[in-house]
A and B are shown apart, each in its own frame.
Chain A
Amino acid sequence: MLEVLQYEFMRNALMAGVLAAVACGVIGVYVVVKKVVFISGGIAHASFGGIGLGYFLGINPIIGALFFSLASGLAIGAIITRTRIAADTAIGILWAVGMALGVAFIGLTPGYAPDLMSYLFGSILTVPFSDVLLMLALVAVIIAVVVALYKEYLILSFDEEYAMAVGMPVARLYFLLLAMIALTVVVLIQVVGMILVIALLTFPAAMARQFTHNMKTMMVLSVLFGLLFTLGGLWLSYMLKLPSGATIVLFGGVVLAASLGLSRLRIRYRETRTPA
């Protein structure tokens, strides 16, 4: 098994998997407890506009995605906080417009778009080392912000009204959270693709939630489950000769479903044993 590490692409894949697990483990906890899963999905899909722009301008599509996901995150935040348009409507608008822009830019680009599928569905085995470095920088930013603002985000996700009552800069923190989600989306695109990003933002955190009621512990567990899903999925895809992104998501889905099922059984078992 270890001989695969002699290949550079395998080493890059492992590093990308670890970085993805850290990003999705930490930010996924906020996405799940603050219930912004579909805002995250909207940001992920809107980032396709940036991938198209990258092809059109002849730059790294990931850089285009970085700008587009940040811009769409802030745009969704602005629509939700400053207009009377409902959150899910805002998500729908950004989601569709971002994807349409991506398709239009790719149409305008002469020739055909290489690797397009890998941005849509992920391709952890072809992540170049330069992108691993970019992922590392993004993860460092995310971790720094979460460490500095841990108590603020705990209050904000627990009770927004209380956060306002004690004078927290709620709107600015909300925008910053959306920006962190946007950065996480960019980190995850490489691993599972923009269409499946939502899986890594939810599965590890949903798994971790069953085992703890402490947010820090939940983040640590969620990173570990993220590692299990990305590296386990990668290994399975290698063994079964299946596309890596989809295998990672399916493996995570099966483990999560099994664990949620076991939790239910355990609760029911405990209830039947407790005398009424």
Chain B
Amino acid sequence: MNNRAIVELDGICVNYGEVTALENVSLSVFEHDFLGVIGPNGGGKSTLLKVILGLIKPHHGSVFVFGKPPARARSRIGYVSQRSVFDRDFPASVWDVALMGRYDRAGIMRWYRGEDRAEAEKALARVGMLEHRGKQIGRLSGGQQQRVFVARALVSEPELLLLDEPTASIDSTMQSEFYELLEQLKDSLTIVMVSHDIGAVSVHVDKIACLNRELYYHGSRELTPEILEATYQCPVQLIAHGAVPHRVLKEH
């Protein structure tokens, strides 16, 4: 059954003071969807993820995640934030960071148990970072760090994975490796990925949503120039390779 709605947003409005971040956004994400959310910077992409996580309460509209208010569904959500702002010298190893994902399962004021360590080991192996478990997190490359953060999201055994610009801080070879990793994960998870990299998104995801305050499009990954132009509010050129758009450039 692929039609169970995991995330249901209905008429969401979010304002930051005078600025409107999201306006009347309605969106459903179904089980085993791999949804890419694209749109310009400041278009409300990160805000959308934070609404799903329950970190931001919308001023209007309703949010249900697994049929519950988002704060009560949190233990079933894995989240990888845009860039973890942390000190490169922070005293934590890859292993420490992966275990952080077990916080919710272990419970407040309790130490990690054997099963928590077993899950951390599994998750690090899954993203190919187990051999680096003893290394300081700040000493890894951006791509390796991102893998560890994905592992941290996976150790809580989530059913929904939210990724906010996961490839923003890593180079292009690392990016294709990262998308391969997501390909492997998408069979067992529902994934919502926010990105400004239209080319990569349209190649790897199954469904696309175009967001610029309002939701301009939501459907299969075949995008037309008209949709992109409406979303970005400026001409965007598509260079098609076969059936899927591969590279998107701004028109000069």
Q: Footprint of B on A, CB under 8 Å?
A: 29, 33, 35, 148-152, 154-155, 157-159, 161-162, 164-169, 209, 212-215, 217-218
Contact = CB atoms under 8 A, between A and B. Distances in A.
Given A33-B87, A214-B91, A151 B55 contact: no
Nearest to B53: A165
Interface of B: 53, 55, 71, 74-75, 79, 81, 84-87, 89-93, 96-97, 99-101, 103-104, 106, 108-109, 111-112, 136, 152, 156
What are the 9 A-B residue pairs with the smallest beta carbon separation, nearest first? A213-B136, A215-B91, A167-B74, A165-B79, A148-B109, A213-B91, A218-B91, A155-B100, A159-B84
Contacts of A33: 87, 90-91
Contacts of A148: 109
A162 B136 contact: no
A29 B87 CA distance: 14
Nearest to A164: B55
Residue picked from B53, B92, B97, B104, most chain A C-beta under 10 Å: B92
Given A150-B111, A162-B100, 17 more contacts: A29-B91, A151-B111, A152-B108, A155-B100, A158-B92, A159-B85, A162-B79, A165-B74, A167-B71, A168-B103, A209-B89, A209-B91, A213-B89, A213-B90, A213-B92, A215-B92, A217-B91
| Most central of A29, A159, A161, A165 by chain B CB within 10 Å | A165
B81 A151 contact: no
A159 B86 contact: yes
Contacts of B111: 150-151
Nearest to B79: A165
Contacts of A168: 103, 108
Nearest to B81: A161
A151 B99 CA distance: 9
B93 A213 contact: yes
Nearest to A145: B109
Given A151-B111, A162-B84, A167 B104 contact: yes
A143 B201 CA distance: 49
A94 B97 CA distance: 35
Contact of B97 (A158, A161, A167, A212): A158
A151 B92 CA distance: 11
Contact of A154 (B89, B100, B136): B100
